[in-house]
Chains A and B, each alone.
Chain A
Amino acid sequence: MIRRAVLVVLGLVWMYPTYLLLVNAARPAASYDPATAWAPSGDFALFANFAAALDKADLGSSLASTALYSVVSPLLGVVIGAMAGYTIVVLRLRHGFWWFLLIFGGTVFPSQMLLVPLFVGYSDAGLYDTRAGMLLVYTAVNVPLAAFVLRNFYSGVAFSIFEAARMDGASTFRIFWRVYLPISTSALAAVFILEFTFIWNDLLFGLTLTTTESVRPVMTALAGLMTDVYAGTPVPVGLAAGLMCSLPTVLLFLATQRLFARGLSLGSV
C-alpha cells in the first residue's frame, strides 16, 4: 500500500510539468501569463500554435531535413554495419577481430573531438551546410554500433545456413542480402530505432556543420528559437514547437518500448 502511495505521489509530481506544458501549448498565444499559467484556457489553440511555429520559425524545412537524415542515415549505417559484421563473422575475414576493433573503436570518442576537423574539413570540401554532408557524418556515427550488434547476432547464427545457400550456388553478396539481412530484422530494427532517435535529437552536429534553415536539423532550429522566446516568440508557440518536433520520436518510442529498451542495453555493452 505504501509502495502504491509513493508511486502515485511521485507520479503526480511528474505529471504536473507535463500538464503545464500541454495546457500552455494549447493556449491562444496572446493570452499567456505566467501568473495564470496553471489554469487551462477556455480556447483550444494547439493547432494554431503548431501552424505559427511552422510558419514563424520556418520549422517545416528543418523537419523535412531531419526526417531525411534520421531515416536515410540509420538505414545506410545499419546495412553497412551489418555487411561488415557478416564479412567478419560469416566470411571469416582474415584478421577479422582487428577489423571489428577498428570499426567499433569509432564509438569511443566524444563528439567534441570531431567537431573542429569536421567543420574545417567540410568547409574545404564544400560539404559544409549541405544535406549530403549531414547524411555522411550521421551515417559514419551509426556504423560502429550496427557492426557491433550485427556481428554478435551473426555469431549466433548456425553456419550450416551459409553452407546450404552456398550449395545452391548463391554468391556471397546474395547470401548476405537474401538470407542474413532478413533473419536479423529484429536486431536491425533495434539499432535503427536507437539511431533514428539519436539523429532526430542531435543538436551538436547541426550546430557545428549547418547554417541555412533548409539544411539545419530540427533540434538546432529549436535551439535557435530559444533566444527568440524572450525576444518575441510567444511562449505557447514555443511550447507547441517543442511538442511538435518531439512527436515522431514519441510515437516511435511508444510503438516499440520493449525493443527500444533492448536497443539501449545493446548499445552499452
Chain B
Amino acid sequence: MRRSAPILGRFRYGYVAPAALLVAGLLYAPFVWTAYLSLTRYDGLAPPEWAGLANFGKLFDDPALLTSLRNTLLWVVGTMVLPVGLGLLVAVLSHDIKGGAWYRVPFMLPYALSGAGLALVWSPILSHGGIANALLGVDTAFLQDAPVNTLAMLLVWTWQQLGVNTLLFVVGLQSIPKEPIEAARLDGASGWRLFRHITWPLMRPLTAVVVGLALVASLKTFDIVWVMTQGGPGRNSETLAVTMYKETFVASDYGYGSAVAVMLTVVTGLASYLYLKRQVAS
C-alpha cells in the first residue's frame, strides 16, 4: 500500500484512544503487575513484599507443580493425537464423498456444549458408580487415579473438539487447488499415496493453524478440569492453569500464584515460538 501523508481528522487520536486505553489498562497493566507480583510475597491484604526469585525457587521443588507440568504435557500431546489427529482423519474421509456433511453431524453436535456445560454433562457418566461403570460393568473410578483421570477428561475433550477440528480441516481441504490432485490421479496415485504426497503438502498451511491453535489452547486447559475434578483428588489432575488459580484464590498465595502464571506464559510463549520457527523453517 502506498504511504502518503496522514489525514488530518480532528479526532484522529480520539478514534484509537478507546482501543488503546482498554488494552493498556485492562491487559497490559495487569500483565506487568503480575510479573512484578511474582517477585513478591503477597497475600492480597498486606502490601506486597519484595522476595526476589524466592517464588521461582519454590516452583522448582514443589512436587505439586511437577505433577501439574506432567498433566499439562499429557493434555498437549493428547490433544495433538486425539481431537486434531482424529479430526484430520474424519475430514479426509468425508470431504469429497456425497453427503459428507451429513456424516459429520454427529461430531458437530457436542461442540454445542461449552467447557462447564461439557464437564457438567459428563460428570454423572464418569463419576464412580455412574453411568459408565454401569454400562461397562467395571468398577473403575475414572476420575480418581492419575493419570487415568486426565486421560478420561481428554476423551471428553476429544468428544467435544473433534467436530470443530474436522470442520476447519474440511474448509481447508475444499479450498486447495484441484488440478494437482487430478493430475496425480491420472498418473495413477490414489488412497494413502495420493494423500501423503499430494494432499497433505497442499494443506500444510492450514494444518499449521489448526495445530498451533490446539497447542496454545491445550497448554491453558482449565475449564474442564476445574469443573470435573477441581484438580483433584488431592492435586493429581491439576494443570498449570488450575495450579495458578488454586495457589492464588484458594491458598491466597498471590505471589506464588503469579509466579505460576509467569511460568505458564513463558511455557506458552516458548512453545509457540519454537512451533512457529519450525513452520517457517520448513
Interface residues, chain A, with chain B CB atoms under 8 Å away: 3-4, 6-8, 10-12, 14-15, 17-18, 20-21, 24, 34-35, 37-38, 80-81, 83-84, 86-88, 90-94, 99, 102-103, 105-106, 108-121, 136-137, 139-141, 143-144, 147, 155, 171-173, 176, 200-201, 203-204, 207-208, 219-220, 222-223, 225-226, 229-230, 235, 238-239, 241-243, 245-246, 249-250, 253, 257, 261-262, 264-265, 268-269
Contact = CB atoms under 8 A, between A and B. Distances in A.
Given A11-B103, A172-B7, A103 B97 contact: no
Contact of B19 (A7, A103, A109): A103
Contacts of B206: 265
B63 interface: no
A118 B122 CA distance: 32
A108 B265 CA distance: 9
A222 B27 contact: no
B59 interface: no
B34 A265 contact: no
A128 to B, nearest CB: 12
Nearest to A3: B93
A173 B120 CA distance: 47
Interface stretch (B71-79, B144-152, B182-190, B221-229): B221-229
Given A92-B6, A102-B23, A249-B112, A10 B127 contact: no
A99 B16 contact: yes
Given A116-B258, A261-B168, A265-B209, A147 B19 contact: yes
A137 B29 CA distance: 13
Contacts of B117: 219, 222, 242-243, 245-246
A141 B261 contact: no
A172 B34 contact: no
B60 interface: no
A31 to B, nearest CB: 14
Interface of B: 1, 3-7, 9-13, 15-16, 18-20, 22-31, 33-35, 37, 44, 86, 90, 93-94, 97, 103, 105-125, 127, 129-131, 133-135, 159, 162, 164, 167-168, 171, 206, 209, 212-213, 220, 222-223, 226-228, 241, 244-245, 248-249, 254, 257-258, 260-262, 264-265, 268-269
The interface residues of chain B, by DSSP majority, are classed as helix
Contacts of B13: 93
A139 B27 CA distance: 11
Given A83-B18, A103-B23, A34 B134 contact: yes
B34 A86 contact: no
Nearest to B158: A14
| From B15, B19, B97, residue with most partner A Cβ within 10 Å | B19
Contact of A265 (B109, B171, B241, B248): B171
A208 B261 CA distance: 14
Contacts of B106: 10-12, 14-15, 18
Contacts of B103: 4, 7-8, 11
16 contacts: A3-B93, A14-B110, A91-B7, A93-B16, A109-B31, A115-B249, A117-B33, A120-B254, A143-B19, A172-B7, A204-B223, A219-B117, A223-B116, A238-B123, A242-B121, A243-B117
Nearest to A10: B90
Q: Please provide the 8 A-B residue pairs with the shortest distance between their CB atoms, ordered closest to farther.
A: A201-B114, A172-B9, A140-B26, A117-B30, A250-B112, A84-B19, A11-B106, A117-B33
Contact of A87 (B5, B16, B114): B16
Contact of B109 (A18, A119, A241, A268): A18
B124 A155 contact: no
